[in-house]
Structure formats: structure tokens, C-alpha cells
Chains A and B, each alone.
Chain A
Amino acid sequence: DQQVKQNSPSLSVQEGRISILNCDYTNSMFDYFLWYKKYPAEGPTFLISISSIKDKNEDGRFTVFLNKSAKHLSLHIVPSQPGDSAVYFCAASSVTGGFKTIFGAGTRLFVKA
């Protein structure tokens, strides 16, 4: 049962344009949603998070939007830079679910110069 789904395995974007990465979830009890970024041969690193009571959180070039009724969130990167090329994981956690964080399968972003 995949509770967090990232349906696009890859995305290619031109430098300077907007990158939009999407994520869907099934568990309405999730309290927090997080995005992690992963470069090859490194562990995932935290990027940005959003509480389930918010619909938007912004940090520099990165903005996460949450649509609870649709059980959908998205990460916007603008403007995209070649250094943003990485795998992006959507993740979610709930207090009632204990301490485990559930990850999606990831979306590989290519930003072309």
C-alpha cells in the first residue's frame, strides 16, 4: 500500500524556468509533509516542509503547496538552476503513525543549461 506517490519518475526543465514536482498521498492523518533532495552517492537532505494546517510554505526559490481536499502537494522551484538537478523525494509523517516517515519513490529532475 503506497501511501505517498510520486507518479513522474523524471522531469526535464530549462534553466531559469519553473520546476513543478508533484506528490499524492492517501492517508488523511498525515500531519507534516517534507521534501528531500538527493544527489548521487549521498543521503537525502531536507529541503522544505509544510504542516497539514497550512496550504503554502516558501523558502527562497522553493515553495511547497498543499491541497488537502485533493490529497496533493507540489514543490515549485523558481528559477531552476543546473545545481538543482537531483532526485526529489516527497515524504509524510503523522503523530498517530509513530515516528516513521513515509517516502515516495522520487522524481529525478534534470535542469538543462
Chain B
Amino acid sequence: GAGVSQSPRYKVAKRGQDVALRCDPISGHVSLFWYQQALGQGPEFLTYFQNEAQLDKSGLPSDRFFAERPEGSVSTLKIQRTQQEDSAVYLCASSPTQGLFTGANVLTFGAGSRLTVL
């Protein structure tokens, strides 16, 4: 597609519910990133995929967070047993870069999914 598409744009969950957030990256982009942005803060890295391989998941805050990209395109971020501290905007970004990049790795972001846990 023309840009990175994320759904849902807004999600309200009761504490303890499971949620799934979807990201549709730019067609052909090899790299896909998930970031978490709390109110008043900058985006915090969660995880990175190169095609279908999850190469870095060091930013996932707990084992309740799980991400997948089974066919190397669409990705889903799943949060199990949501807690109030999970409330944030979840941003997905993609880039065409793969391997060692020779220039700045410019990310194209989606509009984000705002999660509110009550």
C-alpha cells in the first residue's frame, strides 16, 4: 500500500483482556518495527522483524507481549492479560533496509493504535 496501515486506531480493553494490534507495512519493505509510546514520551523500541524473522525482541516489556510476522508482510502485536500500564500508543514502522545499512535507516510510521486499559 501507499503507507503503513494500523488497526484498530483505538482500542479500549478491560484489565485482563487480550488484545491484538495489526500492522500492514509498505509493500516490499523488508524491515518492520514495533514501538510503544507512552503519553508525553518518545517511541520506545519493542521488537524488530526482517521479513518473517524476529531478529530483536529485547524491548518487549514482559512475556505477555508477543509479536509475529508469519509471511513477512502483515504483523500482529498481541498483548495478553492487559494491565493499566500497557495503556499507550503502539506504533508500527517499516523500512526497505536489510542487512547492514549503508545510510540512515529511515522509518515510515503508521498512525498508531491507541490502547486504553481500564
Binding site for B on A (CB under 8 A): 4, 6, 9, 32, 34, 36, 41-46, 49, 51, 89, 91, 93, 95, 98-106
Contacts and interface: CB of A to CB of B under 8 A. Distances in A.
B100 interface: yes
Chain B interface secondary structure, helix, strand, loop or mixed? loop
A88 B50 CA distance: 27
Interface string B92-118: 010001001101111111111000000
Nearest to A57: B104
Nearest to B44: A103
B31 A44 contact: no
Interface in B59-118: 59, 91, 93, 97, 100-101, 103-112
A34 B104 contact: yes
A39 to B, nearest CB: 10
Contact of B42 (A41, A46, A103): A103
Interface of B: 4, 31, 33, 35, 40-45, 48, 50, 55-56, 58-59, 91, 93, 97, 100-101, 103-112
Contacts, number: 72
Contacts of A100: 33, 45, 48, 56, 58-59
27 contacts: A6-B42, A9-B40, A34-B104, A36-B109, A43-B93, A43-B109, A43-B110, A43-B112, A44-B43, A44-B91, A45-B108, A46-B107, A49-B104, A51-B104, A91-B42, A95-B101, A98-B48, A98-B55, A99-B48, A99-B101, A103-B35, A103-B42, A103-B44, A105-B40, A105-B41, A105-B42, A106-B42
